[in-house]
Structures are given as structure tokens and as C-alpha cells.
Amino acid sequence: MKADMPFKLPIFECGRVWLVGAGPGDPGLLTLHGLNAIQQADYILYDALVDKACLDYAKEGCVLEYVGKRGGQASPHQTEINTLMVELARKNFRVLRLKGGDPFVFGRGGEEGLALEKAGIPFWVIPGVTAGIAGPTYAGIPITHRTVSQAVTFLTGHGADGDLPKTFDWQAIAHGAQILIFYMALRHIKEIAKRLIAAGRAGDEVVTFISNATTPRQKILVSTLHCVANSNVASTIKAPTIVVVGQTINLTNANLNVFEGDQR
């Protein structure tokens, strides 16, 4: 039965900022709200992990400005991005901050929202599909299963200073959920594996690396905590990579690459 009132997408008003999640890579995972924002924006400040196909929907005359951050590469400071959003909004432009994944899942969206609020700029946050969910799904790995995994923990592999977060309670992390999903963890993955084992996770537990999740370049590598803790597995796979610790990998029939490494 056809609805009497069709769904109407919101109007992007001048002088406002929308913080939008574009998803982890596949442009098909862009939401209706995200697409609507792209089509109306005057300025799009986009991240490194945003698929360029998403930008093809921008209107004529829209200014596309890259403000992406990649580890080890020159990139705008977060305060510069915050200042740019505020300045453009005050000039009465429709400003779209287009971010990979979800703005509020390790995406600095919270920092940007606070900066906009402090400056008195009206803004709206539009969720996006996060890589920690979409990556395992595209790999055929359920992160929850009634008989295998009833809890999932999402963690970042580094803090603001680039090191492992110092506030982590490794005992709680190791025993709190059957599935652990790490973002941005390649740099410290060996130390992470060692700390999980020391905190009680089994050395033979499966670790799955999903590189370039949801894109045609997606690659999957499977190892164990013990192997990761005692080898250089991170050198065999490229960022961006989601790391999944847990046994639900055993439920997939995907074509998996197994890394055994040098376990000396």
C-alpha cells in the first residue's frame, strides 16, 4: 500500500554544519540522509576514507576540500578543521563535514561537535555505517551469534598521543566480551596481543585482519593471538584495517588467508 505522505528529506539550511558518516568505503553504504546532505552542501570537507564516488553527487559549484588524516602523513590539525567549519558556517554556507564510517565512532565527531557548539554554530550529526560492523559482515563474519558471541567490545588501537590508551583495563577487556574489535591498531597490534594473553585470553584464539573493508581492495588475513604477539604480521597487511579477536570467524566460509608467521 502506497503511503499517503511520502518521506521528505530535510532541508540543509544555510549557516549550518552537518557532520555526516559516509560509511567505511563502499559508496552503496551511504545513507539517504548522507546522500541528501551531499546534494545540498555548498562546501564538503571530506576525509581520507571517503570513497570519491560519494562526491560525484555534489551539486554544481560545490567546493570539495580534502581534510583527511592518515598516519605518518602531513594533514590538517584538528583545530584547523574546526576553525574552517566555523568560518564557513558564519559566511552562511551549508557546510558538510563528510567522514569515513560513523562520526561518533573513533571519528573525532565528538570533538568537532563540541567546537561547533562552543562557537554557537547549529549542527546536525548523521550516523554512518562503521567499519567495525560492516568490515566483518562483508567478510562473512557475524560479530554476534546466539551460541558463540553475546557481547562485543569496540576499541581504538591508539590514543591522542599515538600510544596505546593508558586508561585501558586489560583484565576487563580480556574477559568482558567474546568479540573484541580494534580500530587503528596495526601499529601496536603485537603489544595488544601480548597484553590480551597476559590478561587471560587464549593464545590460540583467532585474530582476523580486514584491510580496506567493504571495498574491492578488501583483504582478509587470519592468525592467532600467540602468532601476532610473536611475529610481524602487521607488516603483511596495509591500513586501514579492522582487527577482530574472537571465534565467530569459524562461522564463515569466506576464502581466508592464514598467517602463521615466525613464532620464535
Residues forming the active site: 47, 69, 184
Q: What is the 3-state secondary structure (H, E, C) of the chain?
A: CCCCCCCCCCCCCCCCEEEEECECCCHHHCCHHHHHHHHHCCEEEECCCCCHHHHCCCCCCCEEEECCCCCCCCCCCHHHHHHHHHHHHHCCCCEEEEECECCCCCCCHHHHHHHHHHHCCCEEEECCCCHHHHHHHHCCCCCCECCCECCEEEEECCCCCCCCCCCCCHHHHHHHCCEEEEECCHHHHHHHHHHHHHCCCCCCCEEEEEECCCCCCCEEEEEEHHHHHCCCHHHHCCCCEEEEECHHHHHCCCCCEECCCCCC
Q: Determine the Cα–Cα distance for residues 221 and 248; give it in Å rounded to an integer.
A: 14
Q: What cell does 4 get?
A: 499517503
- Decide: 98 and 8 in contact? Cβ < 8 Å: no
Other C-beta atoms within 10 Å of 38: how many? 24
The sheet with strand 95-99 has its strands ordered as 63-66, 43-46, 95-99, 17-21, 123-126
